[in-house]
Structure 1
Amino acid sequence: MSEGQPALKTLPAIIIGGGQAGVSLSYCLKMHHVDHLILERDRPFADWHHRRWESFAMNTPNWMNVLPGEQQSFAPKATRNAYGTLSDAYTYFDKYFRAVNPPLRLEEVEHVGINRDGSWEVATNAQTYQAENVIVCTGHAGRPLIPEMAKQLPSSVQQLHSSEYKSPDEITKGNVLIVGSGASGVQICEELAASGHFVNVWIAGSGNFTFPWNVLGISTYKLLRWLGAFKLTRESWMGRIMFPKLLRKGDAATPPSPRQLARSYGVRRPGRALAADNAAVHCRGGDVPTDDLTVVWCTGFRATYDFLDVYLQEGILDHEGRPIHRRGVAVGQPGLYFVGLRFQHTFVSQDIYGVGQDAAYVAEHIARRHAVATKSGVNSFSRRTETRIKQ
């Protein structure tokens, strides 16, 4: 970590974000001998330290949790098919960071703009950098996404997002409603229901599919790998059908399902949350009274790119604020890349299992681009020279 060093001259690449995507990309760029720098506002793998609850369990088995170049097993004391803990994740990511030893500075990126010659200017809260390429690795989980209905609830209702939840001890009311039945929703709901601390526990479903741990005695994840599901790309005919559905409904969750929670713990299922007011949260199958109520919003996140120049945002983001790209290469904006997006190329792109493949592809593209720039005797690219690279 090179915090506090003097400013650098034009760099071949600047990575924004020091999580699993950014550090994986750093490893891949090192393999191509491309100089680069990671800019991270908090700490490496910050989301894992700040946005997980104490009892968090991985949603993928240990054999899937491997970042590029890493030989150390995830949770080595457990079996390959077990599901690791938050402590296992801390240990793994710490060892991976030390093994990669990426050039990283703890600075917050405030603005990214493009110069007339096609190079990039990256301004942080400490200084300004110049770069040939900029790679946004801030992931798909930027800002907590909380429905507008939350504003209609009375101040007596305790509200928190899943990224803020740590344990049942934080819940101050006698009744609790979990909104959202994705991975975070069902895990948090099970912990709250099993604690026995609450009079009523509700889960307002969000339509996420729950797949079983095993099918006919075979691990579901192994079966999906055997069927080729992890190689399914967004460009394939099936991917074009499923991609919009995934964005609308969210990722599939692991057990227990809301139905299983109801059967095992007596959790009540009022259906999807539709609206709220002083009296109740109105759900499709009934109302949840606001009396003595805590609401935990397990409603996901929205990626944010506020640091990108407004002009850039208009050209590279679609009407819903998602990057327009091909396998992480920004369309129409040479030298700009993304790693860690949901379904960036395959269905596992946002997971530990899939981020390495996307990082390797982007790193190779950057290496080719840098080689052409070096051969041309320039530090950056114009649109004219961009045609030398095949995407």
Structure 2
Amino acid sequence: MPVHDLKAPDAARTHLPVVVIGAGQAGMSASFHLCRAGIAHVVLERNVRFHAWKNQRWDSFCLVTPNWQCRLPGHPYPGDDPDGFMLKDQIVDYVEAFADSFDAPLREGVTVTRVGRAGSGHFEVDTDAGLWSADHVIVASGGYDRPVTPPYAADLDPSIAQLHTRDYFRPEDVPEGRCLVVGTGQSGVQLMEDLRIAGRDVSLAVGPAPRSPRIYRGRDATDWLFEMGYYDRTIEEQPDPKATEAKTNHYLSGRDGGHEIDLRAFARDGLPLYGSVTGMEGTTIRFAPDLEKNLDDADKSYLGIRDMIDTYIAENGIDAPEAEPFRKVWRPDEEITEIDARDHGITSVLWCIGFRPDYGWLQVDCLDATGRPVHRRGVCDTFGMYFLGLGWLHTWGSGRFLSVGEDAAFVTDRIIQRLADPEKLRRNA
């Protein structure tokens, strides 16, 4: 990788008012607003635009929120199925059409290796294709750089294959035999279902993820929540913002028109369930005795959403069909805390426990002690630094098609104001 002269004079660099890092929906939304305002900038993308949508989603991937929530700037969902759930290729077509709707100054195949302060007060953005400087930097690289696997995964017998969500595209990627899927966020439950539909043998380690209704009282639950203003509530309005930021997404599916995922029903129909994985050694896999608690907590979340909708319907005198009473169709007879993978026919483990961002290249004081960005609606205290595309950056929809465009508009509007009167706004940052 080239090493650039970071002490070179500013005149030796390409200086622009704004550098955007990342060309997913967040970075391209920022570019849309900057282009419309006539602000010179560049979007640097280490792969190709929308790389994750194109190359890091499994074949049967689909949205879990309805198509009408796709609201990229100037480009709402254009199709004829607003209540459906776009498949992977349709999502790619949607984001590509959005990008084609304007002329973004995009540089693909450019990896940012360092962002730091220059002596002049500007930011230096060092890459494998040259050195930029900028007055403002928007980090829109997302939070999916590093797949999470626990340290004890290294102690599992090497004869048992280990894959991560990012490695899975189709059931054929998983070796013959039983696959233990670990994690019950949106990815975990959908990949478990994908394998079962293909006739594969699966077990599931159930974590603390919440679940949601799909169709409830005649409408998709997300339609009700949107109408109720639930998605407009900001992170500051949450009872515990830190806990909200860390919370796993509710699990449900958009597959085949959308449906709920009740793990108790899967267990009733033969899916082996365990609690959270706590350790591995050789062919031994250990679990916490928390299966029933995790199922109960998921149901509590599910029922909480139903109660919110019931209250809204009652308070507003809405004519809506009555709901079927909730009942638990299965519960564990015992908590299994240890198994021998060999005895259970487990030949693979599919880790679905999330990702972490990698900000090792970011040498600017804008991260907390845990490495999380410190900001208010994407605007950092460090003048000129911004983040976009993170979950709960401002609202529930910040990391999604629903609200990323609104967040991009807010951040770019702040940049436009600061470029117009930088010294005044630096003092009042």
Q: Same fold (TM over 0.5)?
A: yes
1:329–1:362: 8 Å Cα contact kept in structure 2?
yes
Alignment of 1:239-278 (within 5 A): 239-241=238-240, 243-254=241-252, 255-264=260-269, 266-278=270-282
Alignment of 1:269-348 (within 5 A): 269-284=273-288, 285-286=335-336, 287-291=338-342, 292-309=346-363, 312=364, 315-331=365-381, 333-348=382-397
Partner of 1:80: 82
The unaligned stretches of length 5 or more in structure 1 are: 1-6, 374-380
Aligned counterparts of 1:39 and 1:68: Cα–Cα separation in 2:
20
Partner amino acid for 1:387? R
Deviations 1:288-335 (A, max 9, x none): 4322421000011111111112xx2xx32112210010110112x100
Deviations 1:166-224 (A, max 9, x none): 111111130111100011001100011122132xx111111111101122112101111
Q: For the structure 1 residues 234 and 249, does the alpha-carbon distance in structure 2 shift closer, same or farther, using more than 3 Å as the test?
A: closer
Q: Mean Cα displacement is larger for which, 43-52 or 243-252? A: 243-252
Q: Which one of 53, 61, 65 corresponds to residue 58 of structure 2?
A: 53
Structure with max Cα Rg? 2
Partner of 2:98: 96
Partner of 2:328: none
Q: For the structure 1 residues 10 and 26, does the alpha-carbon distance in structure 2 shift closer, same or farther, using more than 3 Å as the test?
A: same
Q: For the structure 1 residues 370 and 288, does the alpha-carbon distance in structure 2 shift closer, same or farther, using more than 3 Å as the test?
A: farther
1:23–1:100: 8 Å Cα contact kept in structure 2?
no
Aligned counterparts of 2:140 and 2:119: Cα–Cα separation in 1:
24
Q: For the structure 1 residues 323 and 289, does the alpha-carbon distance in structure 2 shift closer, same or farther, using more than 3 Å as the test?
A: same
Alignment of 1:312-391 (within 5 A): 312=364, 315-331=365-381, 333-373=382-422, 386-388=426-428
* Identity fraction in percent: 33
Task: Give the paired residue count.
Answer: 360
Partner of 1:114: 117
User: RMSD across aligned C-alpha pairs, in angstroms?
Assistant: 1.7
Deviations 1:357-376 (A, max 9, x none): 11010000000111114xxx
Q: For the structure 1 residues 346 and 249, does the alpha-carbon distance in structure 2 shift closer, same or farther, using more than 3 Å as the test?
A: closer
Aligned counterparts of 1:122 and 1:9: Cα–Cα separation in 2:
10
Superposition deviation, residue 71 in structure 1: 4.3
Alignment of 1:64-213 (within 5 A): 64-73=69-78, 76-77=79-80, 79-106=81-108, 107-198=110-201, 201-213=202-214
Report the secondary structure of 1:262's partner residue. helix
Aligned counterparts of 1:327 and 1:337: Cα–Cα separation in 2:
9
Aligned counterparts of 1:180 and 1:82: Cα–Cα separation in 2:
26
Superposition deviation, residue 32 in structure 1: 2.0
Superposition deviation, residue 388 in structure 1: 4.8
The unaligned stretches of length 5 or more in structure 2 are: 1-11, 253-259, 289-334
Partner amino acid for 1:28? H
2:68–2:77: 8 Å Cα contact kept in structure 1?
no
Q: For the structure 1 residues 288 and 26, does the alpha-carbon distance in structure 2 shift closer, same or farther, using more than 3 Å as the test?
A: farther
Aligned counterparts of 1:352 and 1:288: Cα–Cα separation in 2:
41
1:140–1:350: 8 Å Cα contact kept in structure 2?
no
1:181–1:258: 8 Å Cα contact kept in structure 2?
no
Aligned counterparts of 1:249 and 1:230: Cα–Cα separation in 2:
15
Report the secondary structure of 1:329's partner residue. coil
Deviations 1:223-244 (A, max 9, x none): 11111111111111xx142x33
Q: For the structure 1 residues 290 and 173, does the alpha-carbon distance in structure 2 shift closer, same or farther, using more than 3 Å as the test?
A: farther
2:68–2:76: 8 Å Cα contact kept in structure 1?
no
Q: TM-score, normalised by structure 1?
A: 0.88
